[in-house]
Amino acid sequence: MILLIRGRGIARGVGSGPLLVSPVPVSFLSGVDPASGIIVEKGHPLQGECIAGKVFAFPYGKGSTVGSYVLYALSRNGHAPAAIINTEAEPIIATGAIIGEIPMIDRIEIPMNRLRSGVMVFVNGDTGEMRYDGDFL
């Protein structure tokens, strides 16, 4: 099933890839390795997963403002997510997505916990839309 899901555009651009859904917030400062894109936060449900090239969906960011620079470093190192989807964007993640040129949307029409990791999605940060090509949980 292909579905067009509307949200709010945060960072311009388009990105696509397999979806990686986190049920909990993410700290990019010391939670994601900027050299590899691997989630290293101890106890995080996605610890050991790589966000590089994936559409990374998570409720919101947490932690220090340095998280914005980690997103920028991920982009410069070629290990950034293809796009970001948040339940509610907050300044740390939004700033990092903008300076790292990572397309980002939030406030999508369906609860994020219904999205399934591995499903191919296309995110348009200019229009705030996402094309979801798969089933829901």
Q: How far is CA 13 from the centre of its chain?
A: 13
CATH of 2-133, one of 3.90.470.10, 3.50.50.60, 3.50.30.10, 2.40.10.10: 3.50.30.10
65 with 92: CB under 8 angstroms? yes
The answer on pLDDT for 106 being more than 90 is yes
Sole residue written with tokens 């994020």: 112
Label residue 63 by pLDDT band (50, 70, 90).
confident
The answer on pLDDT for 111 being more than 70 is yes
Q: From the candidates 22, 27, 30, 64, give the one annotated as an active-site residue.
A: 64
Task: Give residue 136's pLDDT.
Answer: 78
Which regions of the chain does DSSP assign to beta strands (E)? 2-6, 8-11, 14-21, 55-58, 83-86, 104-106, 120-124, 129-133
Label residue 137 by pLDDT band (50, 70, 90).
low
Residue 64 catalytic? yes
The residue type at 15:
G
